[in-house]
Amino acid sequence: MVILSAYTVETMPRGFGICSWPANSAKEAEALAKNLSVELADSPTYPNAFWVIGTKPIVKYYQGQRFDNRQTI
């Protein structure tokens, strides 16, 4: 599936293809990534970070914490 948006939030769930959520701005995408990382922190389906993607990876969120795209979790 292709999502056309300025920004997306992406993660790799366990046992599925990449999941993406569209966003209209970087600020909206970061808020969405943070919220998803908190809401799904205990879900075994979403064990990985939620990435904010523009033209390239910007940041990632894991369990509500913000990480630079080059940092390891």
> Has this prediction a pTM greater than 0.75?
yes
pLDDT tens digit sequence for 7-64: 999 999 998 899 999 999 999 999 999 999 999 999 999 999 999 999 899 999 999 9
Q: Which of 2, 20, 3 is nearest to 11 (CA)?
A: 20
- Confidence grade of residue 2 (pLDDT, cut at 50, 70, 90): low
Q: Which pLDDT score, from 0 to 100, does residue 5 have?
A: 80
Q: Where are the domains of the chain?
A: 7-68
The answer on pLDDT for 1 being more than 90 is no
How do beta strands 19-23 and 65-68 pair? unpaired
3 vs 46, higher pLDDT: 46
Calculate the CA dihedral of residues 71, 2, 8, 65 and round it to 10 degrees: -50
